[in-house]
């Protein structure tokens, strides 16, 4: 008896290897119909921002090319997921729809409706895990609830057996007798009409092959020194895998397996302390999804409810927020980070902490402003990680930074960009400023500034706030909030 075809619904799993839903579809037999649906309504209040749309365009192109190498292709559609899937089922005569799970609140709600509706019509509907080492609903603390502190969460996860990556061995994928209607990827209009993405192309190679190449390079060339190099934004010392992970061009099981393989070569797993530190960062990604799943309101509401009453500062006309977004705060390390973000769709993690602290503690503007800006400008904009990072910086989330931790931008610049490579790259108007004054150009004697071609208030701004004044005001606000908490 002929087996009906299976629709494999691609979402944030844009790869062929370690794809549990795809492997299950191949094992079921019959034709496999790979589908991608741009369903912005199904994302709730968090449809993709501009930078993520750019990445998605490139990644879909790469996935389609990989499928064509295996005698298949990617069917592309736009609209409500359930309506599109129903249409595709009718066109293909599919008897099954498979996909890999996502964990954002709006997507979970949508997927439940899709699964129930398709199942009611006699279809075999299955979902799989290809995004995480441990799914949020499988991890509980000793009290049977969710973890809210990273260290015990990760210690618990490390005590569990790590799932093996799913190896897809098929060289060709069985195609349907007739392909359903598909739109061109260009028709999704994911690319910007104004070419603000010019710097993205040199910075990134989206797609499964690009992810695999970067992981290999990182493990062989950078991982051993990761513990020391990861805080230095002026050097290539981090994995830069975050957008690949977000779009599912590589999965955490693959990263774990690659680290294990490297460890076997050296007789120890992980191979070195650098790899251990890196895998801990993978753990933070897992923790972020754990929190989002169990606390679905946190993208817009603080986990610690008392922070809903925090006295944020006024910002008439949004001038300070605009200066922060444009990298014109007058603090070089902050401005370098914000300009790197705009030019490449990415920012070094150490600098992310600095610019976030600056927004919520120096400018005393709500973390939600930062989260929304990052959402639109990051190629690795991930709802779980973005929420965790911003609530950590604001002190209102799980395992949050203590309220009295205020990153001093000058000290951060001196400590982690002492030679000025990072600032000089992204704030070229300061390129000729001596190291001694690079991170605080307003402290330089006027003749030094003039010799370096720096004219404060003209070609580079004076600081939008005084560090000490802003820090003191932030600490007072945080102390007042702490004092008002119920006993």
Overall average pLDDT of the 209-215 stretch: 98
Q: Which of the listed residues 109, 131, 153 is the one where a domain comes to its end?
A: 131
Q: Are residues 126 and 137 in the same domain?
A: no
- Candidates 312, 342, 372, 429; catalytic one: 312
Does some domain include residue 197?
no
Q: Which of the listed residues 294, 327, 352 is the one where a domain comes to its end?
A: 294
Active site residue 55: no
Does some domain include residue 173?
no
The count of domains in the chain is 3
| pLDDT tens column, 383-402 | 999 999 999 999 999 877 67
* CATH number for the domain harbouring residue 116: 3.40.50.620
Q: Are residues 28 and 54 in the same domain?
A: yes
Q: Are residues 11 and 27 in the same domain?
A: yes
Does some domain include residue 177?
no
Range of the domain at 247: 132-163+208-294
Does some domain include residue 77?
yes
- Candidates 46, 324, 373, 390; catalytic one: 390
Query: pLDDT value at position 268?
Result: 54
Active site residue 459: no
What is the distance between the alpha carbons of residues 456 and 434, in angstroms, rounded to a whole number? Answer: 15
Active site residue 429: no
Q: Are residues 51 and 141 in the same domain?
A: no
Does some domain include residue 43?
yes
Q: Which of the listed residues 294, 317, 341 is the one where a domain comes to its end?
A: 294
Question: Does the structure show a pLDDT above 60 at 485?
Answer: no
Q: Are residues 240 and 127 in the same domain?
A: no
Q: DSSP string spanning 378-422?
A: -TT--HHHHHHHHHHHHT-STTPPPTT----HHHHHHHH-TT-HH
Q: Are residues 404 and 468 in the same domain?
A: yes
Q: Are residues 117 and 136 in the same domain?
A: no
Active site residue 312: yes
Q: Which stretch of DSSP H or E encloses residue 111?
A: helix 105-120
Overall average pLDDT of the 147-163 stretch: 94
| pLDDT tens column, 331-388 | 999 999 999 999 999 999 999 999 999 999 999 999 999 999 999 999 999 999 999 9
* CATH number for the domain harbouring residue 154: 1.25.40.80
* CATH number for the domain harbouring residue 320: 1.10.579.10
Does some domain include residue 88?
yes
If you average pLDDT over every residue of the chain, what do you get?
A: 95
Q: Are residues 114 and 40 in the same domain?
A: yes
Does some domain include residue 262?
yes
Dihedral sign for Cα 69, 72, 77, 82, please: negative
Q: Are residues 284 and 158 in the same domain?
A: yes
Dihedral sign for Cα 436, 441, 447, 450, please: positive
Active site residue 19: no
Dihedral sign for Cα 234, 322, 465, 299, please: negative
- Candidates 43, 91, 124, 281; catalytic one: 281
Binding-site positions for FAD = 226, 278, 380-382
Query: pLDDT value at position 262?
Result: 75
Active site residue 284: yes
Q: Are residues 311 and 235 in the same domain?
A: no
Q: Are residues 62 and 142 in the same domain?
A: no
In the structure, what pLDDT confidence band is assigned to residue 487 with cuts at 50, 70 and 90? Answer: very low
Q: Are residues 230 and 107 in the same domain?
A: no
Does some domain include residue 179?
no
- Candidates 367, 373, 375, 426; catalytic one: 367
| pLDDT tens column, 2-56 | 899 999 999 999 999 999 999 999 999 999 999 999 999 999 999 999 999 999 9
């Amino acid at each position: 008896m002929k087996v009906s075809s299976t629709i494999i619904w691609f979402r944030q799993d844009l790869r062929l290897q370690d794809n549990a839903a795809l492997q299950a579809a191949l094992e079921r037999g019959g034709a496999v119909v790979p589908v991608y649906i741009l369903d912005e309504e199904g994302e709730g209040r968090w449809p993709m921002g501009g930078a993520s749309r750019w990445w998605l365009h490139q990644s879909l192109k790469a996935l389609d090319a990989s499928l064509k190498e295996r005698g298949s292709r990617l069917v592309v559609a736009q609209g409500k997921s359930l309506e599109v899937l129903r249409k595709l089922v009718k066109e293909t005569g599919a008897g099954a729809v498979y996909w890999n799970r996502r964990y954002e609140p709006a997507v979970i709600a949508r997927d439940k409706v899709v699964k129930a509706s398709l199942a009611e019509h006699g279809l075999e509907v299955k979902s799989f895990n290809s995004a995480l080492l441990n799914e949020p609903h499988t991890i509980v603390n000793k009290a049977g609830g969710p973890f809210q502190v990273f260290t015990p969460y990760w210690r618990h996860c490390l005590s569990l057996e790590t799932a093996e990556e799913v190896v897809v061995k098929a060289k060709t994928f069985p195609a349907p007798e007739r392909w359903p209607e598909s739109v061109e990827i260009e028709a999704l209009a994911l690319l910007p009409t104004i070419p603000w993405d010019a710097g993205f192309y040199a910075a990134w190679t989206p797609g499964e092959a690009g992810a695999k190449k970067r992981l290999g390079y990182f493990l062989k060339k950078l991982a051993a020194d990761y513990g020391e190099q990861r805080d230095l934004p002026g050097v290539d010392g981090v994995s830069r895998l975050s957008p690949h992970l977000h779009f599912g061009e590589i999965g955490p099981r693959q990263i774990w397996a690659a680290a294990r393989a490297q460890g076997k070569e050296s007789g120890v797993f992980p191979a070195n302390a650098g790899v251990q530190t890196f895998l801990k960062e993978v753990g933070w990604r897992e923790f972020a999804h754990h929190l989002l799943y169990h606390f679905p309101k946190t993208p817009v509401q603080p986990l610690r409810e008392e922070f809903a009453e925090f006295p944020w500062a006024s910002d008439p006309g949004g001038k300070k927020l605009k200066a922060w977004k444009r990298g014109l705060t007058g603090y070089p390390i902050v401005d370098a980070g914000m300009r790197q973000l705009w030019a490449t769709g990415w920012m070094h993690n150490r600098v992310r902490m600095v610019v976030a602290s600056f927004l919520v503690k120096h400018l005393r503007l709500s973390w939600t402003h930062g989260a929304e800006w990052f959402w639109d400008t990051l190629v690795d904009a991930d709802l779980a990680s973005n929420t965790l990072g911003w609530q950590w910086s604001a002190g209102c989330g799980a395992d949050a930074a203590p309220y009295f931790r205020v990153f001093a931008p000058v000290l951060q610049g001196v400590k982690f960009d002492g030679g000025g490579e990072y600032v000089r790259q992204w704030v070229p108007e300061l390129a000729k400023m001596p190291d001694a004054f690079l991170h605080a150009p307003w402290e330089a004697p006027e003749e030094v500034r003039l010799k370096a071609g720096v004219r404060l208030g003209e070609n580079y701004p004076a600081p939008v706030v005084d560090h000490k004044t802003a820090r003191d005001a932030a600490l007072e606000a945080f102390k007042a909030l702490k004092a008002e908490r119920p006993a």
